């Protein structure tokens, strides 16, 4: 019999070589068939019962060790985790695996485990069940949901860390005869867990502002498409297959939380925006997220799945085979390749070539099926013919040539047409760039004609939505010229210049170029003097630029604080959330805390906490917590303005994030002896 399956009586006083062999094999195959599925069910039950007194039979020490090790092996096999929680997940799994030597030594004790040791092991196993449930959520859950709830998930990780520390502290190391080496290893891990602080980095902040922009119902300009594309890429939701999986995951979340909850509506709205950008059918996730609606037609007509293009989910008219062996509609896969993709949309493997081979056999089958079932595609009229495609290419080439015409009227009309054509069509942005539109448009930015300037900068804004074009525009030295239009152009040109800088600043290298070209003072000037739209363009661009730490100091030196304060006080502008988000970013910089933490500002924050919208209160509490965590005098000033009772109210009735921030502020008051 394997030493791992022996009872304590059978394994009493094992030899040194026996112990070594057992410890070597312990981490490999630990009776997985016998314990794996049972442990999954038992673990989930225990998670639900944590903190509830049960009448379950008293656990056996050996069983507790084996079950705990099975839990560790389970989470170690989970594989990849969602990007928003990946660091915390791998850290937790690594710490759980580091406890295997502890269980190894306990398993091979020469004597029975004392009762207090069994109690501690039972508590430790319950913590592992909590960790398993949390890690499974981060492995299988909705990526959008986990991004929106990233802060709440962080709180759950810290709760698991605290429970793990408590359980390990209670282990009677002396009585269970654990070696000094293993004991020191466990104590070091506990020290590291308690010393660890919540991670705050610019990537999380960037993700938060992207989510806020994509969720916005008031700002629908073209630059938002660039944010959607970046956010989808960041969440790994930029392929057909991943979006299908996300649809199913969201459906599962909706079943748990209710379809009509505000959170679910927001998640579905973001998912649909991702699908629209990537040309995928938008379906009702609550009907049947696994089977697209196009599979079923009235009269019980079932469309064979292989007849559907994997990208557009429509019956193919001109199926072609690519290098991976997969079949797609010619127009759909060509658009995929034209967007600089060199992978198969279905398998994600890198392709050796981009040649398209007609799938005549499948095309004949589809034609016969159409005729037999009298089936007509819903989008028949919208399919472009080869002749139409050729005309479009000729039109693009002609417009690019006209940008260099000797007649201002011709140039003006060409710039305007390019502006309009590149507004909604992703394919046209690529084609205009390939035909040399970017250098010609940059040249037009220096023209004295205000309308040409306006059309040119807006066309560059639209073209910059494509990531490759962002680099091309920067390489043409366009950024200093765009900043010059931002300073001296007409108001609409200035607004669109700010939006263009926002789009370009999505590339980190462009953040530096814009700052070194004095773009930040020009944006602050627009924040002061612009229309409501201009102010929104400016603050959005400034936020993105200030994700770079050095740019925070540049923005403060440029005088960003006074106009932001005016945005807080002028409720008619409806920009309180934007201003508070900017303040939250600036207070992470020492110079920002010094400039912002004045008495009048604390009073303004308290006023928002008292009278603002739920979202306003959440943002204001976040800024006040960041200030107070670095200087207790700020919380004293807030108390003098009467913040206490409102924080207590928010800690009970506010949004989830607002409740956490309010409790954090109350804790700061408590630790600094400032409670009233």
pLDDT in tens, 371-420: 777 776 544 333 333 333 333 678 888 999 999 988 989 999 999 999 98
Highest-scoring range by mean pLDDT, 4-8, 353-357, 399-403, 633-637: 399-403
For the segment 60-85, the average pLDDT, to the nearest whole number, is 84
Whole-angstrom distance, CA of residue 275 vs CA of residue 250: 14
**Model confidence at 110, in pLDDT bands (50, 70, 90)?**
low
What residue has token string 């956490």? 660
Under 8 Å between Cβ of 564 and 581 = no
pLDDT at 39: 37
Question: Is residue 268's pLDDT more than 90?
Answer: no
For the segment 222-237, the average pLDDT, to the nearest whole number, is 73
Rg (alpha carbons) of the chain, rounded to whole number: 30
pLDDT at 283: 66
For the segment 122-142, the average pLDDT, to the nearest whole number, is 92
**Model confidence at 482, in pLDDT bands (50, 70, 90)?**
very high
Q: Where are the domains of the chain?
A: 62-196, 222-278, 305-372
Question: Is residue 47's pLDDT more than 70?
Answer: no
Under 8 Å between Cβ of 313 and 294 = yes
Which of 27-36, 126-135, 385-394 has the lowest average pLDDT?
27-36
Question: Is residue 46's pLDDT more than 80?
Answer: no
Whole-angstrom distance, CA of residue 132 vs CA of residue 160: 10
**Model confidence at 258, in pLDDT bands (50, 70, 90)?**
low
pLDDT, mean over the chain: 78
Whole-angstrom distance, CA of residue 671 vs CA of residue 378: 66
Top pLDDT among 439 and 303 is at 439
**Model confidence at 221, in pLDDT bands (50, 70, 90)?**
very low
Which of 20-24, 136-140, 232-236, 358-362 has the lowest average pLDDT?
20-24
pLDDT over 70, % of the chain: 78
Top pLDDT among 363 and 291 is at 363
Whole-angstrom distance, CA of residue 249 vs CA of residue 446: 51
Q: Could you count the other beta carbons within 10 Å of the beta carbon of residue 543?
A: 23
Question: pLDDT per residue over 301-316, tens digit each?
Answer: 567 777 888 776 678 8
pLDDT at 317: 86
Under 8 Å between Cβ of 563 and 529 = no
pLDDT at 116: 85
Top pLDDT among 212 and 455 is at 455
pLDDT at 109: 65
**Model confidence at 363, in pLDDT bands (50, 70, 90)?**
confident
CATH T-level assignment (fold) for domain 305-372: Herpes Virus-1 (3.30.40)
Top pLDDT among 216 and 347 is at 347
> b vs e for 419-444, b when ≥16 Cβ sit within 10 Å of the residue's Cβ?
bebbbeebebbbbbbebebbbbbbbb
């Amino acid at each position: 019999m394997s030493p791992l399956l022996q009872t304590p009586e059978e394994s009493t006083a094992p030899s040194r070589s026996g112990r070594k062999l057992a410890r070597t094999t312990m981490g490999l195959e630990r009776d997985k068939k016998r314990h794996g599925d049972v442990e999954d069910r038992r673990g989930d039950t225990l998670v639900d019962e944590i903190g509830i007194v049960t009448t379950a039979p008293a656990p056996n020490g050996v069983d507790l060790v084996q079950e705990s090790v099975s839990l560790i092996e389970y989470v170690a096999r989970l594989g990849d985790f969602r990007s928003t929680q990946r660091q915390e997940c791998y850290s937790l799994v690594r710490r759980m695996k580091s406890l295997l030597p502890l269980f190894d030594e306990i398993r091979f004790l020469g004597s029975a485990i004392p009762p207090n040791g069994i109690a501690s092991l039972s508590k430790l196993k319950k913590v592992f069940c909590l960790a398993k449930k949390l890690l499974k959520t981060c492995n299988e859950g909705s990526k959008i949901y986990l991004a929106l709830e990233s802060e709440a998930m962080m709180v759950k990780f810290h709760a698991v860390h605290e429970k793990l520390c408590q359980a390990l502290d209670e282990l009677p190391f002396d009585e269970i005869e654990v070696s000094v080496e293993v004991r020191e290893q466990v104590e070091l891990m506990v020290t590291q867990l308690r010393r660890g602080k919540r991670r705050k980095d610019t990537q999380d902040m960037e993700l938060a502002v992207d989510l806020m922009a994509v969720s916005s119902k008031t700002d629908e300009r073209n630059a938002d498409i660039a944010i959607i594309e970046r956010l989808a890429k960041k969440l790994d939701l930029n392929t057909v297959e991943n979006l299908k999986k996300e649809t199913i995951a969201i459906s599962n979340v909706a079943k748990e939380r209710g379809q009509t909850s505000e959170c679910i509506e927001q998640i579905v709205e973001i998912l649909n925006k991702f699908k629209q950008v990537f040309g995928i059918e938008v379906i009702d996730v609550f009907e049947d997220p696994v089977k697209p609606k196009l599979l079923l037609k009235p009269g019980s007509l079932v469309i064979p799945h292989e007849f559907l293009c994997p990208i557009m989910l429509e019956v193919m008219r001109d199926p072609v085979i690519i290098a991976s062996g997969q079949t797609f509609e010619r127009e759909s896969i060509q658009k995929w390749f034209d967007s600089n993709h060199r992978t198969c949309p279905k398998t994600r493997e890198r392709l050796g070539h981009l040649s398209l081979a007609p799938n005549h056999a499948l095309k004949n089958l589809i034609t016969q099926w159409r005729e037999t079932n009298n089936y007509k595609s819903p989008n028949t009229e919208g399919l472009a013919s080869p002749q139409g495609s050729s005309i479009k290419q000729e039109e693009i080439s002609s417009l690019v040539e006209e940008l260099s015409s000797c007649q201002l009227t011709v140039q003006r009309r060409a710039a305007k047409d390019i502006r309009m054509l590149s507004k909604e069509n992703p394919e046209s942005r690529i084609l205009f760039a390939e035909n040399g539109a970017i250098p010609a448009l940059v040249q037009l930015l220096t023209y004295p004609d205000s309308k040409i300037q306006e059309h040119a900068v807006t066309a560059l804004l639209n073209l910059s939505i494509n990531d490759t074009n962002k680099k091309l525009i920067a390489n043409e030295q366009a950024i200093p010229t765009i900043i010059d239009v931002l300073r001296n152009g007409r108001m609409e040109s200035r607004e669109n210049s700010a939006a263009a800088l926002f789009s370009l600043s999505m590339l980190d290298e462009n953040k530096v170029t814009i700052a070194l070209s004095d773009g930040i003072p020009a944006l602050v000037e627009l924040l002061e003097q612009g229309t409501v739209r201009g102010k929104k363009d400016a603050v959005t661009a400034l936020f993105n630029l200030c994700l770079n730490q050095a740019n925070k100091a540049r923005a403060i030196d440029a005088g960003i604080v006074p106009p932001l304060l005016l945005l807080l006080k002028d409720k008619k502008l409806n920009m309180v959330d934007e201003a508070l988000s900017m303040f939250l970013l600036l207070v992470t910089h020492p110079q920002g805390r010094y400039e912002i933490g004045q008495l009048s500002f604390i009073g303004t924050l308290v006023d928002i906490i008292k009278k603002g919208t739920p979202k306003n209160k959440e943002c204001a509490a976040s800024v006040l917590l960041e200030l107070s965590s670095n200087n207790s005098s700020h919380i004293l000033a807030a108390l003098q303005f009467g913040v206490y009772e409102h924080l207590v109210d928010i800690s009970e009735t506010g949004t989830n994030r607002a409740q956490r921030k309010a409790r954090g502020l109350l804790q700061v008051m408590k630790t600094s002896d400032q409670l009233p």
